[in-house]
Amino acid sequence: MLEFYSASSTAVNSKRAMSECLEMALENENNLDCDLIILYTTIGHNFKDLLSEAHRISPGAQIVGCTCAGIISKETVSEAMRALAIMAIKGDRNEFAIAYDSSRTRQNPFELGSKIAQDLKKKNAGINMIHYTIGWPSLEEIQNMTTTWQDTVIAGIESVFGPEVPIFGGVSLDNMKLINNFQFVNDQVIERGAVAVGFADPTLELVSQANHGFDVVGSPFEVTRSEVAILLELDGQPAGPFIHEKLGLLKKTSVVEAMQITLFVGELPSQYHQEYGSSYIVHGLPLVNPDTSITLVRKTPQGMKFWLAKHDEEKIFSGLDKMMGDIVKRCDGRKPLAVFHADCAFRGKISFNKILKEELVGHMQYPLCKDEGIPWLGMYSGGEYAMLGGRNFFHIFTTSLNVILRRES
């Protein structure tokens, strides 16, 4: 059976940060060796030092991880340039497998997902949940995409494992400069790659839920021309100029600036409303391509209705309270073994000061942890994976909590 341990550090020396994490996480164990380390780090750390120190202290461990915009742990919330959080895992080496892709391409995301899934299945056919991280693509790659890359990656994984195996994790970032991001596999540092850990402990199950807390504003507008996830016309007008005029945007609006203004949301099928705590799911930002189109993350068929939305602090807190009530109920009295948390980077310092960030995280941690130190590994990400209505979904601008439990015998 797999056992989970977590810790974090804001030490600026990378070797010291890793040694602090492993010593804190495994302080009650006989030794500091473990079988798997999953790490999230902000962009300022020396990655080679992190990995070499982990191997020195825990020579038997396999190591995976990624960069992110910030870490979320049971000890702290930090978006400092050097912040590190880990989940150390002990157990049977036959109860997990690792697969990765270093090609950096997003032109065939279905193939990317299916290849990683096939590699996992060859190593262990009993995988029952998958922790998955993938690098945020460059803006040029996004503008040139001809498919919904995240939903299509999920479809690729599901083509091997089926839709019933949950996928959780998030999209790797830097410090919101969106210049580059990195993934780690043992001693390798990969740029804009993809890494998956498949868990095959039959005693484990996952409770997964997400919430965004956005509120629609104004009347909807209709997609009158589109190609997959690319908006070409809205209400019969070129999409880019239409949105620029509606919002009073400058022609060159950065990702961070766009985040602070508004989002596109579309209506969810009614069967998901209760669990999700909203009738709408986020489709993307009003970022206009050079050809005046707008690329979103989901399919945007002709005739679809879109709304603009803004974040609402009260709704974010009430949404989290509802989500945590649902999760606690689904845990049915069982103590969580571990929590994997992906929160949109927008919900970090872009929107909230340190006190509010910690209050938001406290709203999630206290109902599950009370005063106990439940292993908790979280990141501020560029996108979040969580199940909804028994289906794998990709979310953006959302909080995703994935709680690992021991099955009742």
Residue for token pair 């949940």: 129
- 110-119, 127-136, 141-150: range with lowest mean pLDDT: 141-150
R_g of the chain computed on alpha carbons: 20
Cα 24–Cα 25–Cα 26 angle in degrees, nearest 5: 95
- Listed as own residue / partner, the contacts of 323-327 with beta carbons closer than 8 Å and 24 or more positions apart are 323/209, 323/210, 323/211, 323/277, 323/364, 323/399, 323/401, 324/363, 324/364, 324/367, 324/368, 325/367, 326/209, 326/275, 327/207, 327/209, 327/367, 327/368, 327/401, 327/403
Sign of CA dihedral 99, 104, 106, 111: negative
Residue 112's CB is within 10 A of a number of other CB atoms, namely 22
The CA distance from 404 to 336, in Å, is: 6
pLDDT score, position 286: 75
pLDDT score, position 263: 81
Does residue 245 register a pLDDT over 90? no
Residue type for position 338: A
- Residue 50 burial by Cβ neighbours in a 10 Å radius (0-12, 13-18, 19+): buried
pLDDT score, position 41: 98
Name the pLDDT band for 207 (thresholds 50, 70, 90): very high
Average confidence (pLDDT) over 141-152: 69
pLDDT score, position 240: 86
Average confidence (pLDDT) over 229-256: 79
Does residue 158 register a pLDDT over 90? yes
pLDDT score, position 342: 97
**What DSSP string describes 296-330?**
-SS---TT-EEEEEEE-HHHHHHHHHHHHHHHHHH
Cα 87–Cα 90–Cα 91 angle in degrees, nearest 5: 140
Does residue 253 register a pLDDT over 70? no
Does residue 256 register a pLDDT over 70? no
The CA distance from 27 to 9, in Å, is: 15
Report the first-to-last Cα separation within the chain, whole angstroms: 13
pLDDT score, position 150: 82
Of 84 and 93, the one with more pLDDT: 84
**What DSSP string describes 340-400?**
EEEEEGGGTTTT--HHHHHHHHHHHHHHHHTTS---EEEEEES-EEEEETTEEEEESS-EE
If we measure between CA atoms, which residue out of 388, 397, 245, 248 comes closest to residue 311? 397
| C-alpha 263: how far from chain center | 18
Does residue 115 register a pLDDT over 60? yes
Of 239 and 15, the one with more pLDDT: 15
Residue 279's CB is within 10 A of a number of other CB atoms, namely 15
pLDDT score, position 258: 60
pLDDT score, position 352: 77
Of 178 and 105, the one with more pLDDT: 178
Average confidence (pLDDT) over 207-212: 94
Is residue 203 within 8 A of residue 406, CB to CB? The reply is: yes
Name the pLDDT band for 1 (thresholds 50, 70, 90): very high
pLDDT tens sequence across 340-389: 999 998 888 777 777 788 889 998 999 998 778 899 999 999 999 999 99
Question: Strands of 188-191's sheet, edge to edge?
Answer: 3-9, 84-90, 36-41, 62-67, 182-185, 188-191
**What DSSP string describes 269-286?**
PGGGHHHHTSSEEEEE--
Average confidence (pLDDT) over 287-297: 83
Average confidence (pLDDT) over 200-223: 93
Does residue 261 register a pLDDT over 90? no
The CA distance from 323 to 346, in Å, is: 19
The CA distance from 363 to 399, in Å, is: 12
pLDDT score, position 408: 82
Sign of CA dihedral 78, 403, 366, 359: positive
Residues 6+ apart with CB under 8 A from 149: 106, 109, 137, 297
The CA distance from 179 to 69, in Å, is: 12
Name the pLDDT band for 7 (thresholds 50, 70, 90): very high
Of 196 and 239, the one with more pLDDT: 196
Is residue 71 within 8 A of residue 6, CB to CB? The reply is: no
pLDDT score, position 47: 98
- 74-88, 226-240, 251-265, 369-383: range with lowest mean pLDDT: 251-265
pLDDT score, position 204: 97
pLDDT tens sequence across 45-63: 999 999 999 999 999 999 9
Bridge partners of 406, per DSSP, are 204
pLDDT score, position 106: 64
Does residue 250 register a pLDDT over 60? no
pLDDT score, position 392: 96
Structure tokens given for 204: 């484990």
Does residue 11 register a pLDDT over 90? yes
Residue 103's CB is within 10 A of a number of other CB atoms, namely 14
pLDDT score, position 147: 60
